[in-house]
Structure 1
Amino acid sequence: PIAKCLQGTHEQLIATIIGWIDGDMDHLICWLNGPAGSGKSAVSQTVAELCDASGRLAASFFFLQGAGDRSRIAGLIPTLAYQLSISIPTTKPFIQLVLHTDPLIVRQALRHQFKKLVIKPILTVTDTNTTMTPMIIFVDALDECDNRELMAEFIEIIADAYRENCRLPLRVFFTSRVEEHLRKKLEAPAACSVIYLLALQDFDAANDIRKFFRHRFATIYEENHRLMRDVPWPWPSHTDLAALVRKASGSFIFAFTLINFVDDGADLP
């Protein structure tokens, strides 16, 4: 499972995303970008859980490089359609009908799949329920998809769908690193009218990493009483903690790796 944010971290960013979900009617797609290890997937998981708790999670797909089906785009739209049929039950008969009449649709072009399995069912139920609360689809780690060309095409398909169907009661939340094949599509003039861009590096991560270090070091300290009995508290000292936060330079991968190294060392006989 994808780890979510430690409570009390990424608060400003999460509030910004929730503000987009609740209020931005012009940009129905949000792209959160940032370098590797900056916490994008944790933010995505956290916001997805918040949406799930409020009944607004339509579907989610978390790409993971080298993880079989989770790294391949072939299962993306069928997975989203299946989850959509559960989160919005009124779409289920329409999705089932498409699969029954055209069972090979999952092998067809992405644009055709998305139109038939996602767009048309949603628009059909919207016609009979004009007050439907907007739901959110999460697609995390676009850069970890093993087919760059098809992922670029998928982004174009999504942007086109929203430019052509502004009444879609669906929002899409993307995360990825800023890789050229993604940036070209997500920052294209045609896409900019419907995409809200969020850069993780625009949000100061130092305080979040400090909270993470304090939480995890305190846990290690408490769980290793005998080993730590002669080590003064607070551990590490305020000076050392500040130095570690500076060393991390906003990278949660650095913070996780360091904590795991210390924790593994605490377990040695």
Structure 2
Amino acid sequence: MSGKKSKGFRARFRNHLHPRHGTPTDDKGLRADQGGSGSTSPAASVNQIHSPLPKTQQKRQPPNLWQAAFEKLEGKQKNILMPNASNSTTSDIKSALNDIIETVNQQSEIRKLKREDKWFGDGPEKVLRAVLALQANISAVVACDPTGHASSAWAAVSFGLMITQNYRQEHAAWFESSKFLSDTISRMTLIEISYRDGHPAATDGLEDALTQTYLEILRYSAEVIAIQKSNKGVRILKSITAMTDLPLASIKKSIESEELRLDKWVKVQDQIRWNEKADRMLAQSSEILSVVRNMDQTIALSGLPMVHRAVFDTYTPDVEDECLPDTRVELRQTIADWIDDPNGKALFWLNGLAGTGKSTIARTVAREMKERGLLGATFFFNRSEADRSSLKYFFPTVARQLADAVPDLRESIANAAEFAQSSIHIQFKEIILGPLSKIKTKNGQNLLLILVIDAVDECHDENHIPVLIQLLSQLQKTNSSIELRAFVTSRPELPLNIGFIKIPDEHQKAILHDIQESSIEHDLLIFFKEKLSKIRHERDEEEDLEQDWPGADIIQILVAMAMPLFIFAATVCRELQDPQWPAKDILNGILEHQNETSKLVGTYLPVLNRLLLSQKEERRKIELVQQIQHVLGAIVILEDTLPVKPLAKLIDVWCAT
């Protein structure tokens, strides 16, 4: 292949796919068997793909292989595909191929913004190469399919590409389908063009192989289009899930069985591989420069203080549960709808009384956003830790996480590290809004990211809490291609109420303690059944517990005692895991207080009683009672709560480090 034509190929490719830093991989899907004859005609070279093919010299009229394949379909499959077929025209085919290019460009722009090129693999490259190959021979392509049946297959490709943006875990199956279909359609069409122009491959066997391949493609396309039609107006996740049941493997197997008879494509693949090798060398050079640049930015970002324990999924000695399956179903759906709503408000405020499960829900939302690739940053406040109970390092911690989520932000955030010790207004302006405003995609595509901010009421900077809410409401006013929204949890305390009252049009609210009692009872019942079953298995070797211990009636009593506080249920289960006491004795001690009107008494008095019972000396019991009264008395009379260590220092008692 001449250097001029090689450059033309790369220019075409880069015009449709922005430069990538990842190293391309070999296109295994394009490989044909290399054990056959090594002789191929010039018509099977890469030049054939990117320059018009010679007019056919064959005297006989070539058969319509797409129509022949269509006739072999079952009646139901024909009915599904019929609306997608029409008399092909050059403009119709061009429009379909341009739609594929635009969709891949939009996907690539978003993934490039998040630096997820390697995760994409060779997908965009394969799809675009397949489309460009057909565009270069558009008249011959239309001649191969005058009845327009291939449009059904391109519709399946387009549908698979369009629905992959925000569901990263389920992305692989759909994208693999689109990549494989586009590559196969392109290769088979080009081979058919070669056959129509009088190449030696024009044999009965080749006609049969191509027809069988087209038949498998149409069968698969019918399945995809059926899923698309059946799920219109329904949550798109159903279409994604349905994909896993489609027989993509059977198509691959059928095509691979015909590959030995299609050795003309070996020459094309060999030539393309040379192009890829050259591009790979250029990409590796860019990658080296990128590594050096990233090292400089990493050093600069280290100047931003970060509260690591405030970040989701970092180590903590405490057990941090997430919502069990089939619990908080309606609330979690409401949150998901807010996230998926293109017109969703800047903030979602989940407020609830102490112990109603706000932090558990926040961790669940963070987990789900991480799995979907939509998690921008998290900050879990905690009044017991100095750096987690202050706003001093809130925005620097968020900025560091955003720089990891969107690497294109790294340089701007690193350059603003000097503002890390400024007021929160300046921090927000310089290390959050400023870098965000510089991110704009060429085609106007937006990247949605969610901030999860838990227990804001545990921040000691009460005067700054309304200010924080006001600043967060400005996240969608940056004109950036990154759309940030914040999911915020707290108790319904005055500073929070003041902050949200000032932005009535910028937030959506859900109140945990206003949820119907039947829904809370249902969730508590699932919680107790799940946790008590695990406790029973854990303690089965030590104690002779019944198979259904503690029994449905006792579980129902525990649910009634816990209503509506999940923290009561969690505390009871932690008590039952105490290895120093038999589970039955612990449970009996808890049930003795089932008629207490105070949740505090029912929750913690059994614990204190067992602590006293474990003391053998009467003198030690008296000392413990006095110490407990001393600590609890200080907690009661304090106007504001204190972390453990400052409280111990205030009342002059020993505190374990």
Q: In the alignment, which residue of structure 2 is the partner of 1:217?
A: 532
The structure with the larger Rg is 2
Q: In the alignment, which residue of structure 1 is the partner of 2:486?
A: 172
Q: In the alignment, which residue of structure 1 is the partner of 2:390?
A: 72
Is residue 268 of structure 1 aligned with residue 581 of structure 2? yes
From 481, 490, 512, the counterpart of 1:200: 512
Contact 1:29 1:173 in 2 (8 A): yes
Indicate the RMSD between aligned Cα atoms, in angstroms: 2.0
Is residue 155 of structure 1 aligned with residue 481 of structure 2? no
Separation in structure 1 between the aligned mates of residue 375 and residue 336 of structure 2, nearest angstrom: 13
Shift, 1:165, TM fit: 4.3
Q: Deviations over 1:63-113 (max 9, x none)?
A: 0112121111101000001111110111111111222xxx1x122221221
Q: Deviations over 1:221-246 (max 9, x none)?
A: 112224442x4342222222111111
Contact 2:450 2:485 in 1 (8 A): yes
Separation in structure 1 between the aligned mates of residue 499 and residue 520 of structure 2, nearest angstrom: 27
For 1:110-121, what aligned pairs fall within 5 Å after superposition?
110-121=424-435
1 or 2, which has the higher strand percentage? Answer: 1
- How does the TM-score come out when normalised to structure 1? 0.90
CA separation of 1:178 and 1:124: change in aligned 2, threshold 3 A: same
Helix, strand or coil: the match of 1:73?
A: coil
Q: Read off the aligned partner of 1:49 and give its amino acid letter.
A: R
- How does the TM-score come out when normalised to structure 2? 0.38
Shift, 1:127, TM fit: 5.5
Shift, 1:215, TM fit: 1.1
Helix, strand or coil: the match of 1:74?
A: coil
Shift, 1:179, TM fit: 0.3
Contact 1:26 1:193 in 2 (8 A): no
For 1:1-269, what aligned pairs fall within 5 Å after superposition?
1=316, 2-23=320-341, 25-99=343-417, 103=418, 105-126=419-440, 128=442, 130-159=444-473, 161-162=474-475, 164-165=477-478, 169-188=483-502, 191-203=503-515, 204-229=519-544, 231-264=545-578, 266-268=579-581
Q: Deviations over 1:172-229 (max 9, x none)?
A: 11000000111111123xx110100011123332111111111111111112224442
Q: Read off the aligned partner of 1:13 and give its amino acid letter.
A: L
Q: Deviations over 1:38-84 (max 9, x none)?
A: 11111111111111111110111000112121111101000001111
Shift, 1:146, TM fit: 1.3
Helix, strand or coil: the match of 1:64?
A: coil
Q: Read off the aligned partner of 1:38 and give its amino acid letter.
A: T
Q: Deviations over 1:12-42 (max 9, x none)?
A: 2112111110115141210000011111111
Separation in structure 2 between the aligned mates of residue 162 and residue 194 of structure 1, nearest angstrom: 10
Separation in structure 2 between the aligned mates of residue 12 and residue 255 of structure 1, nearest angstrom: 21
Q: Read off the aligned partner of 2:350 and give its amino acid letter.
A: L
Shift, 1:128, TM fit: 4.6
Q: Read off the aligned partner of 2:405 and give its amino acid letter.
A: S
Contact 2:521 2:559 in 1 (8 A): yes
Q: Read off the aligned partner of 1:151 and give its amino acid letter.
A: I
Name which of structure 1's ranges 4-13 and 204-213 shifts more when overlaid on structure 2: 4-13
Contact 1:59 1:137 in 2 (8 A): yes
Separation in structure 2 between the aligned mates of residue 97 and residue 226 of structure 1, nearest angstrom: 59
Q: How many residue pairs get matched? A: 260
Separation in structure 2 between the aligned mates of residue 253 and residue 9 of structure 1, nearest angstrom: 15
Separation in structure 2 between the aligned mates of residue 127 and residue 111 of structure 1, nearest angstrom: 27
Helix, strand or coil: the match of 1:208?
A: helix
Helix, strand or coil: the match of 1:38?
A: coil
Separation in structure 1 between the aligned mates of residue 349 and residue 451 of structure 2, nearest angstrom: 12
Q: Read off the aligned partner of 2:408 and give its amino acid letter.
A: T
Contact 1:34 1:201 in 2 (8 A): yes
CA separation of 1:268 and 1:26: change in aligned 2, threshold 3 A: closer
Helix, strand or coil: the match of 1:30?
A: strand
Q: Read off the aligned partner of 1:202 and give its amino acid letter.
A: D
Separation in structure 1 between the aligned mates of residue 470 and residue 338 of structure 2, nearest angstrom: 21
Separation in structure 1 between the aligned mates of residue 513 and residue 384 of structure 2, nearest angstrom: 26
Q: Read off the aligned partner of 2:407 and give its amino acid letter.
A: P
Separation in structure 2 between the aligned mates of residue 116 and residue 4 of structure 1, nearest angstrom: 34
